Amino acid sequence: MKKFWSIILLLSSVSVMAQQPDIQRADNSFFDPTRKQAQEEEYHFGVEYRLEAGYIQPQQRSRNQTYADMYQHGVRLGATFTFLLPRHFSMQTGLLYSLSYGRQQQHWRSQDAPTVQEEYIQHRILEHNLTVPVRCFYTIPLWKQLNMFVYGGPQLQIGLAENDYLTKHLSSKTETWLQSQSIPTEPYDRMATELHRINIQMGVGGGLEWDRYRLQAGYDFGLNNLVRQPLVTGQHMWEWGWYASFSYRF
């Protein structure tokens, strides 16, 4: 009987020892080298290059009637560079070209009528800009290669031209009075004489990213007064706007 129990004990010990390597392998699988490498790759420095194209809707806003408030519509094209940082942060800059168009009627009281009536100038604006964004991104992984992100930061908008192809619907006396007030009545480039070319904006936005493709939208707030030579005291004009764009990482 003692010999029988000795054999049972020996077989049990051998069985436990045989199972020990499997347990060790199971423990080691949790610390799999490829998993550790994936975690390290998630927080690494690097640079991503993107081509970006999108729709923009700038808005010119003023405090008076010297410039008519106007919504514009246009496109923006360019390239961006994203510097990857630890903990899902990144910084983006680049160079974007935008072309936008807007139309608005600016009404004036007639100077040549016995009763009050309005005359107007129709403004057709064609604006060309270069934009240098400086955006701080935070990325939130959602599922597999699908990520959500938010961003904020300033951007520098450099005006190339803002051509005003205006059309007059004025009486001769009203036109003469406007010219005496240094208000243009013929087509001209606003940035050549009246407006600053530098527009500093602060923007916020977000979007979704799948693999190499990114869809984003945001709003940019103009911070500085664009009027270079005020025609009246306290004359201000800002340019704000929102946009939606698509970009591809290569």
Are 143 and 118 in contact, with CB atoms under 8 Å apart?
no
Are 208 and 197 in contact, with CB atoms under 8 Å apart?
no
Whole-Å CA distances, 152 to 44, 67, 76, 135: 21, 30, 19, 5
Q: Percent of the chain scored above 70 by pLDDT? A: 78
Task: Find tokens 């205006």 and name the residue.
Answer: 166
Report pLDDT digits (tens) over 197-225: 999 999 999 999 999 999 999 999 999 99
Are 206 and 215 in contact, with CB atoms under 8 Å apart?
no
Average of pLDDT values for 222-231? 87
Residue 4 predicted with pLDDT over 90: no
Identify the pLDDT of residue 247: 97
| pLDDT level of residue 5 (50, 70, 90 thresholds) | low
Beta bridge partners of 99: 75, 128
Phi–psi pair at 192, nearest 5 degrees? -75, -25
The count of other CB atoms within 10 Å of the CB of residue 224 is 13
* Residue of 187 and 115 predicted with greater confidence: 187
Identify the pLDDT of residue 59: 93
Report pLDDT digits (tens) over 65-88: 667 788 999 999 999 999 999 889
Identify the pLDDT of residue 142: 94
Report pLDDT digits (tens) over 130-154: 999 999 999 999 998 899 999 999 9
Residue among 110, 102, 107, 118 at smallest CA distance from 64: 107
- What's the mean pLDDT when you consider all of the chain? 83
Tokens representing 28 are: 């080691």
Q: Please tell me the number of Cα atoms within 13 Å of 178 on its side-chain side.
A: 25
* Residue of 243 and 232 predicted with greater confidence: 243
**C-alpha torsion 36→39→43→49, nearest 10:** 110
Identify the pLDDT of residue 6: 55
Say whether pTM exceeds 0.85. Answer: no
Grouping H, G, I as helix, E, B as strand and the rest as coil, residue 170 is coil
Question: How much is the CA Rg of the chain, to the nearest whole Å?
Answer: 32
Phi–psi pair at 222, nearest 5 degrees? -70, 135
Report pLDDT digits (tens) over 174-197: 888 888 877 888 899 999 888 999
Report pLDDT digits (tens) over 118-127: 788 888 999 9
Identify the pLDDT of residue 118: 74
Tokens representing 249 are: 């990482």
Report pLDDT digits (tens) over 9-58: 555 554 545 454 444 444 444 444 444 444 445 556 789 999 999 999 99
CA distance 184 to 179: 6
Are 82 and 38 in contact, with CB atoms under 8 Å apart?
no
